[in-house]
Amino acid sequence: MVFGFGKSKSGGSRRDYDSSEEFEIESILFQGALNGKEVDLRANAKLAQAGLVPAKELISDALARRADMIRLDPKGRVAAVTLYVDGVPFPGSRMPAQQALAITQMLKLLAGLDIRDRQNAQAGGIVTDYKETPYHLLINTSPLKAGGERLVVRPRNQQVQLETPDDLGFSEDLRVRIRELTSHRRGVVLVCGPPNSGVTTLSFAVIRSIDAYLYSIYSLADFGGRSITHISQAERVEGETFDRQLARAIRSDADVIIVEPLHEEDRLKIVFDDATKVCIVAEYKAPDAGNCITQLRDTLGAEIVSDRLAMVLSQKLIRLLCDECKQAYRPNPRLLQKVGLPPETKVLYRPPQPIEGEEPDECYKCGSIGYFGRTGVIQAIEVNDSIKELIKSGADASALKNQARREGMQSFQSDGLRLVAEGKTSLEELQRAFKA
């Protein structure tokens, strides 16, 4: 296969190079920058000669190993590769720092970034095709104090989009509560979580839980090219401020409005000011639902938060057991009692356990890891009367989460154990994911 900007499935121009400038690659085809910027390999022939094939080999190897993130860290004269498979790091290869620099610069060029700027963080993406599967490679670079740049690549399979309640395994109870709370045409529903926990994915699943046939939903947010059926994208007016955009959507008789993540305090205040007229859904930066509530109280005050916050959801990603090689076992009754599973549970599942003196069977689906893919474990705190009183009394995040659990609201523990009981994950995986 010859490197070039091949014609993608969605159409587009193909650029081929004469034989003196062709670079043989095995299976990955770089098709252009996500930002649409033209990439001129002829003007960067030396960089392409040094970095194109190594970049191709790095990405191809990572995709063959099912990596969802690739990190390249320069450390003096060498650089270390770390591959993350279903969120778990595995050590990769090591290479000379100069080769790592060539790979980083090559991927920056292909992503339409500024290869001359090594002092500032940059972000972009590359449209690629790997074994006839379309991928977007999200590229992030950041300067290091010791010199050089860290490269992070996040491959996104465009045929696998996790964005529905089914994709994330929403319980029926959670879907019902989201539909009920968003039907009142007031209040704020927030989605939060730690970095790399799939907050945007969780937001999509929450939005798709709202009945778009019964309620008028408007979006002021950029979905990054993804669309949701029966949601109206509000027209953007050049120079219009956020508060005016929101007021215009409210005047359009919206029942629910989706806005961009609330990173700025002034936008946060505007949203809560208007939450008596419409239900608003947004993302907010907080480690979990309990801490989200206390952060909001510190910023906006207890009265406003207790009156206008409807629900907060947070997510942690855990690995799913591989269907091909997971192993059934009969749990000890004491174990069931200790973790809180029903005593009538007859069977649980775990990755294959090694047997002394026997060669383990190889699983070609998961690469003998025992896990394949991830799903979300979701925490949800609904701001009912008892939670409102705790907010007003100045209770901390732990007290809020404990009260929510006592009232049967969905917690990380209850949702995780549900997935264990359904045979989708293991107790060991829950322990690994939450040991921090």
- For residue 223, what pLDDT is reported? 65
- Within this chain, do residues 204 and 305 fall inside the same structural domain, yes or no? yes
72 and 141 in a single domain? The answer is yes
Confirm whether 227 is domain-assigned: yes
pLDDT of residue 233: 80
Radius of gyration of the chain (CA): 24
333 CB burial (10 A radius; 0-12, 13-18, 19+): exposed
Asked if 27 and 76 sit in the same domain, the reply is yes
CB burial of residue 428 (10 Å; 0-12, 13-18, 19+): middle
The mean pLDDT of 127-155, rounded to a whole number, is 93
Q: Of 157, 182, 203, which residue constitutes the final position of a domain?
A: 157
CB 245 within 8 A of CB 234: yes
pLDDT by residue (tens digit) across 280-298? Answer: 999 999 999 999 999 999 9
Q: Are residues 111 and 251 in the same domain?
A: no
- Average pLDDT over the chain, rounded to an integer: 88
Amino acid 24: pLDDT: 45
pLDDT beyond 50 at 8? no
Residues 139 and 85 in one domain: yes
Find the distance separating the first CA and the last CA of the chain, reported in whole Å: 45
Q: Are 390 and 309 in contact (CB under 8 A)?
A: no
Q: What is the pLDDT of residue 422?
A: 93
Q: Which domain holds residue 112?
A: 19-157
Q: How far apart are CA 311 and CA 305, in angstroms?
A: 11
**81 with 151, same domain?**
yes
* Position 211 in a domain: yes
For the chain, what percent of residues have pLDDT higher than 70?
92
Per-residue pLDDT, averaged over 7-21, amounts to 37
Cβ pair 156, 69 in contact under 8 A: no
Among candidate residues 134, 157, 180, the one where a domain is terminated: 157
Assess if residue 280 is contained within a domain: yes
Let me know whether 137 and 194 are in one domain. Answer: no
Q: What pLDDT, in 10s, does the model give residues 357-369?
A: 777 788 989 989 9
User: Does the residue 265 lie in any domain?
Assistant: yes
pLDDT at 3: 35
- What pLDDT, on a 0 to 100 scale, did the predictor assign at position 6? 35
Tell me the CATH number at 307: 3.40.50.300
Look at residue 238 in the predicted model and tell me its pLDDT.
83
| pLDDT grade for 23, boundaries at 50, 70 and 90 | very low
Residue 358, pLDDT score? 79
pLDDT for 377 beyond 50:
yes
Do 92 and 215 fall into the same domain? no
Phi, psi of 65 (to 5 degrees): -95, 10
Domains in the chain: how many in total? 2
What CATH number does residue 68 fall under?
Answer: 3.30.450.90
**pLDDT attached to residue 224:** 59
Last-in-domain residue among 157, 192, 214: 157
Q: Tally Cβ neighbours within 10 Å of residue 231.
A: 19
pLDDT of residue 22: 44
pLDDT at 12 over 90: no
Q: Are both 70 and 150 inside the same structural domain? A: yes
As a whole number, mean pLDDT of residues 13-40 equals 65
248 in any annotated domain: yes
At 194 the pLDDT is 81
State the pLDDT confidence band at 226, using cuts at 50, 70 and 90: low
Adjacent-strand bridge partners of 71: 82, 152
pLDDT in tens, 401-425: 999 999 999 999 999 999 999 999 9
pLDDT tens string 146-200:
889 999 999 999 887 777 788 787 888 899 999 999 988 899 999 998 877 888 8
Q: In this model, does residue 227 exceed pLDDT 80?
A: no
User: Does residue 355 surpass a pLDDT of 60?
Assistant: yes
Mean pLDDT score, 72-79? 94
| Rounded Cα–Cα distance for residues 57 and 314 (Å) | 37
Is pLDDT larger for residue 205 or for residue 386? 386
Of residues 371 and 168, more confidence is placed in 371
Same domain (yes/no): 148, 185: no
Three-state DSSP state, 281? strand
251 lies in the same domain as 392: yes
Residue of 235, 233, 308 lying closest to 277 (CA atoms): 308
Q: For the chain, give the number of residues.
A: 436
Q: Where are the alpha helices (DSSP H) in 283-396?
A: 289-300, 302-308, 333-339, 385-393
For residues 91 and 119, membership in a common domain is answered with yes
Please spell the DSSP secondary structure of 183-197, one letter per residue: TTS--EEEEE-STTS
* 294-312 pLDDT, tens digit each: 999 999 999 999 999 999 9
